[in-house]
Amino acid sequence: MQPLLYIYADESCLGVQFRDRDSPGGAAGLVEYWKDDRWVRRDYWLSEPATTNNRMAIRSATEGLRLLRQPCDVIFTSDSQYLIKGMREWIPGWVRRGWKRKTGPVENADLWQGLLRAAAPHRIDWRWVRGHAGHPQNEYVNDLAVRAAKKQDASRGLAESGFQAWLEEQREKERYLDFFEFQAPEETTEFRPAPGVKGAG
């Protein structure tokens, strides 16, 4: 039986309202797994000096999956419909049509192909969550992504998570008071992995 992990990821792109300048971006994620009756949490983040939200959404997933050391069952959560619909709905058709759409080549095909390679060893349940709607892990990785975009830095692997300290800061502002970060995962959680895609390279 493969270990079950949870990955929450988000992206940021600064200055997209300006067409005459580069838009620095960041992507980040929080990896969680239950071990020895407690949550183990790790962070990752990366940046690009000139990018788009869609590019960083794909990279947020690729980086998180690439850092896993063994095949896992992964519940992957993001507020990017572009990313989640891509992996759950659009990818099989793109592969069948040779990465082409009616209007031309698939945008960011190289990144999608890289994500498929990173995802191949794992079984993944791709889940969408509404952004900025009070989901603590989603809000945390949004902050990580914005910070990466501003600082233009990278974790270069999995780093000790700052989620607990961030959560305590938020609670001083009367947020997430009903969130129990030490509670064990629910046994009733339904795992619905997306089907694998052949010929994705």
100 CA to centre of own chain: 25
Is 59 strand, coil or helix? helix
Task: Delineate the domains of the chain, giving CATH numbers in brackets.
Answer: 4-171 (3.30.420.10)
Q: What is the pLDDT of residues 50-100, one digit of tens each?
A: 999 999 999 999 999 999 999 999 999 999 999 999 999 999 999 999 999
Query: Residue 102: what residue type?
Result: K
Stated pTM of the model: 0.94
pLDDT of residue 198: 53
CB atoms within 10 A of CB 166: 18
DSSP at 185: P
CB atoms within 10 A of CB 42: 20
Element (H, E) at 53: helix 53-66
Residue 192 pLDDT class (50, 70, 90 cuts): confident
φ and ψ at residue 104, rounded to 5 degrees: 135, -165
Q: How far apart are CA 64 and CA 157, in angstroms?
A: 9
Element (H, E) at 62: helix 53-66
Q: What is the pLDDT of residues 20-53, one digit of tens each?
A: 668 999 999 999 999 999 999 999 999 999 999 9
Helix runs in the chain, H state only: 53-66, 81-85, 91-96, 109-119, 136-151, 163-171
Residue 194 pLDDT class (50, 70, 90 cuts): confident
Q: Which residues of 111-145 are buried (b: 16+ CB within 10 A; e: fewer)?
A: bbbbbbebbeebbbbbeeeeeeeebbbbbbbbebb
- Look up residue 86 and give its two tokens: 């891509």
pLDDT of residue 11: 97
pLDDT of residue 201: 46
Q: What is the pLDDT of residues 102-161, one digit of tens each?
A: 899 999 999 999 999 999 999 999 999 998 889 999 999 999 999 999 999 999 999 999
